A and B are shown apart, each in its own frame.
Chain A
């Protein structure tokens, strides 16, 4: 079942002579349990693709569906709720709130969603433990290393069992060892059933994905194909 589906998606900026086609005719689906990486140089449209997939921007052509819901057909309140409940974001700049502890940062989206403080705290602690920083729950961001902060950001993206994880260069400035640990976490999350879409220019990180697609000048040009599994074998047998 496709958690994310992008159908003939395009995104133009400006018009007339100043028209810039940031993305053209993008068809891309990510199923539950699948990890897809989008690779491309800077300016190829990677980040635009991710903001469209997450409902943070609106396409000028085509449709974006999350769990079958067309984001373009939702009003602002329902779109915001869908973003909060079903989509987790991990960006390069972590956007942790400096005045909140690790646990409070992770709790925040859940509390905004109406989960009671006590339950939200319990979930946050579990999510932090899952990414290996359970002992840092009461620390503030500036009391943690870059790798630890990134884990907290991932815990915040995963809390509440969101089915779609969107991530933009999640290993940013981390060293290769810490970067691998972050990829391992995302991989584990996908293996547990989440759909994950990552944009990156780093081949070593993209290789953690089941499928890698290449973006050039706003269009998908090629891909490594799906990882052979029961589903694809069934498809092939049909």
Chain B
């Protein structure tokens, strides 16, 4: 997750203190990705090293104001103009689990799918409750940003359920039906529906 670019994008709107950056980052993502202040300062010092931000002088309370440089502004512009790489996303534990379930003897893939589907649906219900409790058309930009982040999580959960549905029907299609024990081995195959 690009905290680096998130902080740069906030600084592109004007100089800010470290604690301000933390608060604004969290409010615009609906506190989905809480930051600790240490992360903020370590990221800022790397940005300073790379000459993307400048640290000003300390005020009377010993706090530093950070501002963006011309290179920093160019970096933010480049970030918004560039798609996120697929490979930057973490490995999908669920895909790995299902792959293992299919190849491990004695594991009921349908059970694994259903257990996950119910859990994901519950998560989706929680997200939807948050959405239902808020205005359908928020006017505040912070609210709008939070809504987009929320919808991102909603769509991911939905995609997961659709993928699970797909896995289930795929496995039904490729798994040969259990034959009745009494059927002779050379019986002609019946046409399946």
List residues of A whose CB falls within 8 A of some B CB: 39, 41, 180-181, 184, 187, 201-204, 206-209, 212, 214, 221-225, 227
A203 to B165 CA separation, bound complex (whole angstroms): 10
Given A221-B114, A223-B118, the answer on whether A41 and B124 have CB atoms closer than 8 Å is no
Cross-chain contact B127 with A224 (CB below 8 angstroms): no
| Cβ-defined partner of B117 (8 Å) among A180, A204, A214 | A214
Given A184-B136, A203-B161, A204-B155, the answer on whether A224 and B121 have CB atoms closer than 8 Å is yes
Given A41-B169, A203-B161, the answer on whether A208 and B128 have CB atoms closer than 8 Å is yes
B75 contacts partner chain A, Cβ-Cβ < 8 Å: no
A184 to B131 CA separation, bound complex (whole angstroms): 10
Cross-chain contact A212 with B169 (CB below 8 angstroms): no
A207 to B117 CA separation, bound complex (whole angstroms): 12
Cross-chain contact B128 with A207 (CB below 8 angstroms): yes
* Chain A at the B interface: SS class: mixed
Q: Name the residue on A nearest B162 (C-beta).
A: A203
Cross-chain contact A214 with B114 (CB below 8 angstroms): yes
Closest CB-CB distance, B17 to chain A, in whole Å?
Answer: 38
A71 to B120 CA separation, bound complex (whole angstroms): 36
| Cβ-defined partner of A204 (8 Å) among B118, B132, B136, B158 | B158
Interface residues on B, range: 20 to 34
Which residues of chain B come closer than 8 Å to A221, judged between CB atoms?
114
Which residues of chain B come closer than 8 Å to A180, judged between CB atoms?
131, 136
Which residues of chain B come closer than 8 Å to A39, judged between CB atoms?
121
Which residues of chain A come closer than 8 Å to B132, judged between CB atoms?
184, 187, 208
B122 contacts partner chain A, Cβ-Cβ < 8 Å: yes
Counting from the closest, the 10 A-B pairs by CB-CB distance are A203-B161, A207-B124, A207-B128, A204-B158, A207-B125, A203-B158, A224-B122, A212-B121, A224-B121, A222-B118
Q: Name the residue on A nearest B120 (C-beta).
A: A203
Cross-chain contact B114 with A204 (CB below 8 angstroms): no
A87 to B190 CA separation, bound complex (whole angstroms): 44
Supply 28 A–B pairs (Cβ within 8 Å), ascending by A.
Answer: A39-B121, A41-B165, A180-B131, A180-B136, A181-B136, A184-B132, A184-B136, A187-B132, A201-B165, A202-B158, A203-B157, A203-B158, A203-B162, A204-B158, A207-B121, A207-B124, A207-B127, A207-B128, A207-B154, A208-B132, A212-B121, A212-B125, A221-B114, A222-B117, A222-B118, A223-B118, A224-B122, A225-B122
